[in-house]
Amino acid sequence: MATLTLKNVPESLHEKLRQQARRHRRSLNREVIDLLATAVGDRPLTPAELRAFVAEQESEGIWIDHEDVRRLIMEGRP
């Protein structure tokens, strides 16, 4: 894994990130990685997002079976 160093982070931003990480019960490092992954579209769907995706597809007449869902979940796992 690569290492990324951030410099000159404003104190107010650092504090907001620290508080958000605490609310999510994650380390500050894990919180920032998740935020960056979300920003660039490089994270797996959460269960709620997956359910919404399936419901949206079904509303358009596209049926997703159990194996499709399983495959989508596994694609997001390391």
Integer Cα distance of 25 and 76 in angstroms: 21
pTM of the shown model: 0.56
Sign of CA dihedral 22, 26, 27, 31: negative
Alpha helices in the chain (DSSP H): 11-23, 28-39, 47-59, 66-75
CA 12 to chain centre: 23
CB atoms closer than 10 angstroms to residue 10 = 8
- What's the CA angle centered on 12, arms 7 and 17, to 5 degrees? 75
pLDDT along the chain (78 residues), means of 10: 91 94 92 85 76 82 80 70
